[in-house]
Amino acid sequence: MTINTKGVCGMNVDTVNLSIRMEKNLKEQADSLFSELGMNMTTALNVFVRQSVRQGKIPFEITLNKPNAETLAAIREIEEMRSGLLPKQSMSVADFAEAMGE
């Protein structure tokens, strides 16, 4: 992959070739997305790198796991119970087994 950069007023600046490995399917999806956005992979990667340098960080949040809506609702419920906003709900083992259909 060739990274072409343009300096101020469109003047050419030194460029380098960059070789990266990526899953084939991911590259195809990215190519399709970037094409819809009117750019190619090189331009998209340049945008990413420029934003990273400009902001002094990765320009988006990187997380290990993002809880789904059901998990977030359960977390909120527990937090509300702990803070006293919701009454603590207790259930006997028999009631729990019945609720679980056993």
| Among 73, 17, 66, 69, residue whose Cα is nearest residue 45 | 17
Query: pLDDT tens, 47-80?
Result: 999 999 999 999 988 887 788 889 989 988 888 8
Domain membership of residue 16 (yes or no) is yes
Query: pLDDT tens, 23-49?
Result: 999 999 999 999 999 999 999 999 999
* Residue span of the structural domain in which 80 resides: 69-99
Domain membership of residue 74 (yes or no) is yes
Looking up tokens 């988006």 gives 60
- Determine contact, residues 59/51, Cβ cutoff 8 Å: yes
Please give the model's pTM, rounded to 2 decimal places: 0.52
Indicate whether 21 and 48 sit together in one domain: yes
Domain count along the chain: 2
Indicate whether 10 and 51 sit together in one domain: yes
